[in-house]
Amino acid sequence: MFTETALQFMPIGPSLISMTKLDFAIDCLKRIREAGFEAYFAGGCVRDHLMGNEAIDYDIATSALPVELEALFPRTVLVGEAFNVLILLSEHPQKPYQVEAATFRKDLGIKDGRRPERVERATAQEDVQRRDFSINGMLWDPLSNEVHDWVGGQKDLAAKMIRAIGEPEARLKEDYLRMLRAVRFSARFDFKIEKKLEQAIQQLAPQIHQISKERIFDECCRMLSRQGADRAIEQLDDLNLLSEILPELLLMKGVEQPPEYHPEGDVWVHTLLLLKQIREGHSPELGWACLLHDIAKPQTFSHAEGDRIRFNGHASLGAEMSDQILRRLKAPNRFREIVHALVRDHLKFADVKKMRPSTLKRFLRQEHFDWHLELHRIDCLASHQNLDLYHFCQAALSELKVEDLRPPALISGQDLIAMGFSPGPKFKEILTEVESLQLDGQLKTKDEALDFVERNFALKT
């Protein structure tokens, strides 16, 4: 988090930011300036630099039009013709850096809760007035280290405040996704949302449905893959947004859990504790799995007299519910498959010490097992805090070689055909059983495998 001194621009150095990426961005800005146009770094890179954080992307706001920029740069891509937005690409093939350059503009009218009816060229000062929040509305001249702050962004950084530029309701109606962006920035930086902006979001929350599901999904992914994910979900709830986009989560509130396994409290509290442990670098898939791993507990809750609280089948049902939720949000198919597997298998760790060697090896070698293992670790730390099974799996992985987990097959379908078997579903059953015995160490050669098949699988006559 930034300090007071971080509000003064620090010298750029390799420890702060990637010089090569920054060099390209500054070169672009210089080239625009030398052609007689105004140009500044704008948006998140200015905010991040002021806070002492590394900027991921660099955006340039300029008085030049795309056609004028195309004359200055050999490699460009027009991505927003209506809004005069151009991507400037580096010429070095090994360093494919890119900078987004946008012409100063004013947005006029509201078309669909997302796009203006028309745009006009503007001055730099007019351009920042159309942006969402004051902390994202500053311009920076990296050549002189001068900040142009006409919206009070530095003051709000110091106050740890997310404040809309101008009237909050007007800013939100220009693009209702800004309601989610306010939550994301607030949660990520642990900033408060200014009261008027908070009230406007609460009032306009139902309008989030005017935004495409893909944009909502993308914004949620950003919330769930960096620190503050727990704060994001709590704020979405407080601002009436959670009931609009993820109403299933609200059913977890007040659902008791067996205290011997979950001394932390109900399912809602447990889920927030998982999310609290998410850090920068965690994948969005893992973030969604943390959020949804117990989504079916309300539906599977049972507490018979004389027995502990149980949630029989909640992992398999939860996997299906997770898929339905992500399908509703238009998540990519592969993304849904990964989250489905993470939720479906999160209870399997309870049996790792009892698994036969072949079952354990298949479990350990599955795709993205590091995410499965991390979900289990976080799940444990958010409940009973016993990491024995986590360490057991880590030890098993360190002891097993790649060839132990994925040994070359002893026999193939061609061998079965040569034995007289006809291709069909039986092939998979035979080959799977042979591999299981191989992983168990009971079959070690091709001859042993063929002999096992001959003795245990009769040919149809």
pLDDT tens for residues 109-135?
566 555 666 667 889 999 999 999 999
d(CA 427, CA 429): 5
Which residue type is seen at 427? Answer: F
Label each residue of 40-77 as H, E or C. EEECHHHHHHHCCCCCCCCEEEECCCHHHHHCCCCCEE
Does the pLDDT at position 460 exceed 50? yes
| pTM score | 0.88
Averaged confidence pLDDT in the chain: 91
Which residue type is seen at 101? Answer: A
Does the pLDDT at position 13 exceed 60? no
Instruction: Report the length, in residues, of the chain.
Output: 461
The pLDDT, as a whole number, for residue 183 is 98
d(CA 139, CA 49): 11
The pLDDT, as a whole number, for residue 95 is 75
What are the residue boundaries of the structural domains of the chain, listed by start?
1-159, 246-404, 413-456
Q: What percent of the chain has pLDDT over 70?
A: 92
Place 459 in a pLDDT band, splitting at 50, 70 and 90: confident
Taking the CB of residue 57, how many other CB atoms lie within 10 A of it? 14
Q: Which of 31, 28, 262 is nearest to 42 (CA)?
A: 28
- Sheet with 139-141: list strands edge to edge: 76-80, 85-89, 98-103, 59-62, 39-42, 139-141, 146-148
The pLDDT, as a whole number, for residue 107 is 72
d(CA 227, CA 159): 20
The pLDDT, as a whole number, for residue 115 is 62
Place 14 in a pLDDT band, splitting at 50, 70 and 90: very low
Q: What percent of the chain has pLDDT over 90?
A: 80
pLDDT in tens, 187-206: 999 999 999 999 999 999 99
Mean pLDDT of the 92-119 span: 74
The pLDDT, as a whole number, for residue 118 is 61
Question: 164 φ, ψ to 5°?
Answer: -70, 150
pLDDT in tens, 212-268: 999 999 999 999 999 999 999 999 999 999 999 999 999 999 999 999 889 998 999
Does the pLDDT at position 6 exceed 60? no
pLDDT in tens, 41-84: 999 999 999 999 888 889 999 999 999 999 999 999 988 666 78
CB within 8 A of 332, min separation 6: which ones?
none
User: Rg of the chain over CA atoms, in angstroms?
Assistant: 28
Asked if the 246-404 domain carries CATH number 1.10.3210, the reply is: yes
Place 10 in a pLDDT band, splitting at 50, 70 and 90: very low
Does the pLDDT at position 9 exceed 60? no
pLDDT in tens, 135-185: 999 999 999 999 999 999 999 999 999 999 999 999 999 999 999 999 999
pLDDT in tens, 428-446: 999 999 999 999 999 999 9
pLDDT in tens, 229-241: 999 999 999 999 9
Bridge-partner residues for 86, per DSSP? 78, 101
Asked if the 1-159 domain carries CATH number 3.30.460.10, the reply is: yes
